[in-house]
Amino acid sequence: MTSLMDVWLGGCCTLWPAQRPPPARCPCHLFPLWLVDNAKHDEQRQNRPARSRWDGVGPVMTGPRVVLAEDDVLLREGLASLLDRSGYEVVGQAGDGTQLLALTREAGPDLVVADIRMPPTHTTEGLEAARVIRQERPDTAILVLSAYVEVQHAMELLADGGGIGYLLKSRIADVDEFLDALQRIARGGSVVDPALVRELVTARRREDPLAALSAREREVLALMAEGRSNAGIARRLWVAAGTVEKHISSILIKLNLHEADDDHRRVLAVITFLKAR
């Protein structure tokens, strides 16, 4: 019986007989287990000729052409293997932003997959390269990968239109979800990581001065902004004037408008409402 250690050391493909190919998403192809000198590996790859895709008889049509940019060679090779087995044609691999731009200009890919942080500073090299690619080749789809949720970077990129995606690297573990995202981006759609959406919603709630108001209080404040008196608001909402006064008092407290006379507080409340729209 083959042990788990045998699988890790020998590769899971060794468990498959020669007449049967390993599964398309075989783990040892997705993340092969060896130590790599990143700089040396990149040098060797640049001198390596592109591979033709054969079906046993002759060359066949390939899917979207992709350039990968990731300084972690192990992850990059795993992605390349995954894409290759999923119908994409990987036409280039880069380890930094400069190589990414050069390969993109040379190969003219349909899709670029790049890490946001790459050498030499590991800050925004991938993002800056993506911006240049979008300017020079607006029809090239771009997916940027990040280890963390970086709202500002993501929003800058997504503002450029369709054919753009932002995903956390952890999403790669769900192969079907990752490939689906790639397909949507390649077709001109936009993909945003759910974690980024949650962060944006949370930030919006933190920044929205009206978030603490109830639906009825928002109605009252909107009518105040129209210049209606308490009696006018009461008639519009079919409630008693005393109820309107209670709502307005609650609104002023929730908006932290505790001091100054009532008329001035109403004006400040209306200004807050208009700014938040």
Do 176 and 221 lie in one domain? The reply is no
Do 184 and 239 lie in one domain? The reply is no
Range of 226's domain?
A: 215-276
The distance from CA 111 to its chain's CA centroid, rounded to whole angstroms, is 15
Q: What is the CA radius of gyration of the chain?
A: 28
Q: Which of 175, 203, 231 is the last residue of a domain?
A: 203
Do 107 and 181 lie in one domain? The reply is yes
Do 154 and 130 lie in one domain? The reply is yes
Q: Do residues 108 and 78 make contact, with C-beta atoms less than 8 angstroms apart? A: no
H-run or E-run covering 90: strand 89-94
H-run or E-run covering 46: helix 38-46
DSSP letter for each residue of 149-171:
--HHHHHHHHTT-SSEEEEEGGG
pLDDT band at 26 (very low <50, low <70, confident <90, very high): very low
Q: Tell me, yes or no, whether 92 lies in a domain.
A: yes
pTM of the shown model: 0.56
Number of domains in the chain: 2
Q: What does the alpha-carbon distance between residue 261 and residue 269 come to, in Å, rounded to a whole number? A: 12
Q: Tell me, yes or no, whether 1 lies in a domain.
A: no
Hey, what's the torsion of the CAs at 214, 219, 220, 222, to 10 degrees? Answer: 120
Do 111 and 133 lie in one domain? The reply is yes
Q: Do residues 146 and 166 make contact, with C-beta atoms less than 8 angstroms apart? A: yes
Do 236 and 177 lie in one domain? The reply is no
pLDDT tens digit sequence for 104-113: 999 999 999 9
Do 268 and 187 lie in one domain? The reply is no
Q: Which of 181, 203, 225 is the last residue of a domain?
A: 203
pLDDT tens digit sequence for 28-72: 444 333 333 444 444 444 443 344 445 455 454 568 999 999 999
Q: Which of 203, 227, 260 is the last residue of a domain?
A: 203
Structure tokens at 121: 């500073």
- Decide: helix, strand or coil at residue 215: helix
pLDDT band at 97 (very low <50, low <70, confident <90, very high): very high
Q: Tell me, yes or no, whether 219 lies in a domain.
A: yes
Q: Tell me, yes or no, whether 49 lies in a domain.
A: no
